[in-house]
Amino acid sequence: MHYTEKDRVCIPVPFFHCFGMVIGCLACTSHGCAMIVPSESFNPTLTLQAVQDEKCTSLYGVPTMFIAELQLPNFSSYDLKSLRTGVMAGSVCPVDTMKQVQTKMFMKEVTICYGMTETSPVSTMTKIGTSIEKQVTTVGTVQDHLEIKIVDPMTGDVIPRGEEGEVCTRGYSVMLKYWDAPEATNAVVDAARWMHTGDKGSMDNEGYLTITGRIKDIIIRGGENISPKEIEEFLYTHEAVAEVQVIGVPDEKFGEEVMAWVKLVDGCTATEEELKNFCKGQISHYKVPRYWKFVKEFPTTLSGKIRKIEMREVSAKELGLEHLVAAKEEEKKESKGRNEEEGEGTVKRAREETSEDEAARKKIKS
């Protein structure tokens, strides 16, 4: 990002998260940049006002924050010409949003980052000069002194480029352990110090990483990682709830929204509004399910395990979100097609180089 002591960085993301604390505070203090905090919690109006008043050169945010800023009725009244760069992270950015950030907000050098708190947090990122296609379909390339590999989640074997598997990362940035939780640590950090992210992704022939889903059931809503289990355990404390399963469903604005399937105790009643009010003030507002479905039973496998994949499919259909699922699948196919074309081009070039080498050797012999 080429920070110097002349940069002024606007940080509207929370400091309780690695985004604000590390990419924000640490990046600024290590380069002598000024840190501009526009408000106690995110406010699009105050953020743009701070950028204008403080002549900020960099702006941080998850895609939904940038979307909120761009959609302000008086957006065009703000002078944002001082901006040149920034960080967008947390979830995939829509193509149109990225273009608007670069043109309307003048952030020609905006970067995309990928990582997690356990990896301090950035493992990959786009660089200045990365094409807009790579910026919106990938999370960049691996950082210096770090390693990334894509493995078969069942066998742990490294798989070929272009194929989807679990994203693993290793290097100085990986945490030592979860505090006082050896079992949890061993579940994600193996003996060779590879961090198993639980994310599903692929890497193309140029080294660009694409995140295509989650092997675990973590829901990513507007850049926030949400654990379904945390919400499920809280809802279990309601006297009318016999069983509950929480899933993520597609959403145009936040990427995903939270949905709860609830089975009530026989003889008890509860409404969607009642359960929402039960959650308010007890769990973070973004973790309160937007959608609710009351069921008698849950879809299960032959072994009795809950089939959350089927739940997501049913929910998308009932909520009329199939077009979002289809769009995501189409994007994956197009990305795979591009990777295959790039792979064929690489093979062709390698064959041509081999033929030229052989011809040269024959010429020398003659």
Topology adopted by domain 1-114:
Rossmann fold (3.40.50)
What's the predicted TM-score (pTM) here?
0.63
Strand order in the sheet with 122-125: 34-36, 8-10, 58-61, 85-89, 109-115, 122-125, 141-142
Residues forming CATH 3.30.300.30 domain(s) in the chain: 218-319
Residues forming CATH 3.40.50.980 domain(s) in the chain: 1-114
Q: What is the pLDDT of residue 305?
A: 64
Decide: helix, strand or coil at residue 345.
helix
Cβ–Cβ < 8 Å for 321, 249? yes
Q: Answer yes or no: is pLDDT of 304 > 60.
A: no
Q: Which CATH number fits domain 218-319: 3.30.300.30, 3.40.640.10, 1.10.3720.10, 3.40.1360.10?
A: 3.30.300.30
pLDDT (mean) for 217-237? 85
Instruction: Tell me the pLDDT tens digit for each residue of 313-322.
Output: 999 999 999 8
Instruction: Tell me the pLDDT tens digit for each residue of 46-92.
Output: 999 999 999 999 999 988 789 889 989 899 999 999 999 999 987 66
Question: Confidence class of residue 303 from pLDDT cuts 50, 70 and 90?
Answer: very low
User: Which amino acid, 51?
Assistant: V
What is the spatial distance between Cα 11 and Cα 117, in angstroms, rounded to a whole number? 18
Q: Answer yes or no: is pLDDT of 24 > 80.
A: yes
pLDDT (mean) for 20-36? 95
Non-local CB neighbours of 211 within 8 Å, separated by 6+ positions: 92, 114, 139, 167, 199, 200, 201
Question: Confidence class of residue 347 from pLDDT cuts 50, 70 and 90?
Answer: very low
Instruction: Tell me the pLDDT tens digit for each residue of 93-109.
Output: 666 788 889 999 999 99
What is the spatial distance between Cα 340 and Cα 333, in angstroms, rounded to a whole number? 10
pLDDT (mean) for 246-271? 92
Average pLDDT of the chain is 87
